[in-house]
Amino acid sequence: MLLTVALLFTVFSLICERSLGQVSLRNGTALNTRAFVKQDCDGVKTYICDSCVSRRPCVGVQEINVSIPCATGSYCTTLTAGDRCGPIPSDECISSTASKPFTCTSLGVFPDPNNCNVYHVCLAAKDNSNVYKCAPGYVFDIASVGCIRQVLPTTCVTVRCAVGSPAYVLYGNSRQYYVICDGQNLPTQVMRCPNGSFFTFFSTTLPYGECVYSCTGQGNYPNSNNPISYFQCYISNGRLVYTEVDCPKNTVFNSTLRYCVLST
Ligand SMILES: *[C@@H]1O[C@H](CO)[C@@H](O)[C@H](O)[C@H]1NC(C)=O
Ligand SMILES: *[C@@H]1O[C@H](CO)[C@@H](O)[C@H](O)[C@H]1NC(C)=O
Ligand SMILES: *[C@@H]1O[C@H](CO)[C@@H](O)[C@H](O)[C@H]1NC(C)=O
Ligand SMILES: *[C@@H]1O[C@H](CO)[C@@H](O)[C@H](O)[C@H]1NC(C)=O
């Protein structure tokens, strides 16, 4: 339904012009950031959370310098008698990842891996993302690049990382968006494969993979994540294959001319 979406290279016009229902991207609310703060052993607690997914033993007020990870998929929860591992991350952990800007890897609009009510806008690679919040009852949707009304619980897409198992995990049923799970913390950032490429696991048993460009013909094609490189597609042994090429210094790829030109 609704609007035509002009996705890439339109971040600015997207922010300035587009609105979806009652929710305009311009009207997002920037969130405050909070980080996990480890507390001290208080003489009562037997364990103290030292991260969102691990804890340390307390002997009186003395903290033992051993970090014990919670079981796979569980989080350390702060309680008065002693911090325990359980299925629900503490508020502190949710807000520290949900609202925290990440370092942009490319331009564009990104979902948040932990909180479907917020999204990130990246205006330049290596800058911090700007965090925006959808209106109550709305969740961010990558297909329409905007906030849509949450009809079903499944409209909310987030990513769960298994504790103790570092892995690359696809964001929902997307093959363009994925997260990197470090095996310790909640995922901090969603990554996007360049236009025309798809995330592909190296094998069915290895939880690692990379974006693989899908050549539509021979020639040079832009890398939408990186303007100073391009994909060179050619035929080798009867198959269409590609290599990623960096432009020479001080040049950028021009997708009309299909070669690198001096950057202005
Ligand atoms: C929302 O956007 C409208 C214009 O579309 C603007 O007048 C209004 O100030 C914005 N509200 C906030 C809270 O930024
Ligand atoms: C705790 O142990 C780690 C490694 O086991 C060490 O790097 C760190 O310095 C220790 N911290 C303290 C306060 O002893
Ligand atoms: C994205 O990639 C597709 C397929 O490679 C291409 O047809 C389309 O023009 C590209 N769009 C942009 C904005 O680069
Ligand atoms: C690419 O080159 C064409 C032809 O010289 C020019 O018209 C166009 O503005 C260039 N595009 C960019 C993004 O520099």
Q: Which residues line ligand 1 (CB under 6 A)?
A: 24, 26-27
CA of 61 to the centre of ligand 2 (A): 17
Q: Whose CA is nearest to atom 12 of ligand 1?
A: 27
How would you classify the pairing of strands 219-222 and 75-77?
A: unpaired
pLDDT tens for residues 105-146? 888 899 998 888 899 999 888 899 999 988 888 999 999 999
- Residue 187 DSSP code: -
Phi and psi torsions of 32, nearest 5°: -80, 155
Q: How many CB atoms lie within 10 A of CB 67?
A: 13
Nearest ligand to the CA atom of 27? 1
CA neighbor of 120 nearest in space, from 34, 189, 33, 186: 189
Q: How many residues does the chain have?
A: 264
Beta carbon of 203 within 6 Å of any ligand 4 atom: no
Chain-centroid distance, C-alpha 202: 20
Global pTM?
Answer: 0.61
- Residue 157 DSSP code: -
Distance, CA of 190 to CA of 159 (rounded, Å) = 9
171, 180 Cβ separation under 8 angstroms: no
Beta bridge partners of 212: 198
Share the mean pLDDT of the chain.
82
Tokens 């974006």 found at: 211
Beta bridge partners of 246: 229
pLDDT tens for residues 159-201? 888 877 899 999 998 899 999 988 877 788 899 999 999 999 9
Distance, CA of 129 to CA of 107 (rounded, Å) = 9
Mutate to test the pocket of ligand 3, among 106, 195, 212, 224 (most ligand atoms within 8 A of CB): 195
Q: Whose CA is nearest to atom 13 of ligand 4?
A: 254
Higher pLDDT, residue 10 or 153: 153
CA neighbor of 129 nearest in space, from 98, 105, 97, 104: 104
Give the number of the atom of ligand 1 that is nearest the alpha carbon of residue 19.
5
CA of 192 to the centre of ligand 4 (A): 25
Contacts of 248 (CB under 8 A, 6+ apart): 260
Asked whether the predicted pLDDT for residue 21 surpasses 50, the reply is: no
Asked whether the predicted pLDDT for residue 14 surpasses 70, the reply is: no
Beta carbon of 32 within 6 Å of any ligand 4 atom: no
Beta carbon of 196 within 6 Å of any ligand 3 atom: yes
What is the predicted pLDDT for the residue at 219?
A: 97
Distance, CA of 20 to CA of 216 (rounded, Å) = 32
Contacts of 118 (CB under 8 A, 6+ apart): 31, 98, 99, 112, 131, 132, 133, 134, 140
pLDDT tens for residues 62-108? 999 999 999 877 888 888 888 999 877 776 666 544 567 889 988 88
Q: How many CB atoms lie within 10 A of CB 139?
A: 22
Q: How many CB atoms lie within 10 A of CB 32?
A: 8
Distance, CA of 233 to CA of 249 (rounded, Å) = 22
Asked whether the predicted pLDDT for residue 33 surpasses 60, the reply is: no
CA of 254 to the centre of ligand 4 (A): 6
What is the predicted pLDDT for the residue at 112?
A: 92
Mutate to test the pocket of ligand 4, among 107, 252, 254, 264 (most ligand atoms within 8 A of CB): 254
CA of 185 to the centre of ligand 1 (A): 35
Q: Whose CA is nearest to atom 6 of ligand 3?
A: 196
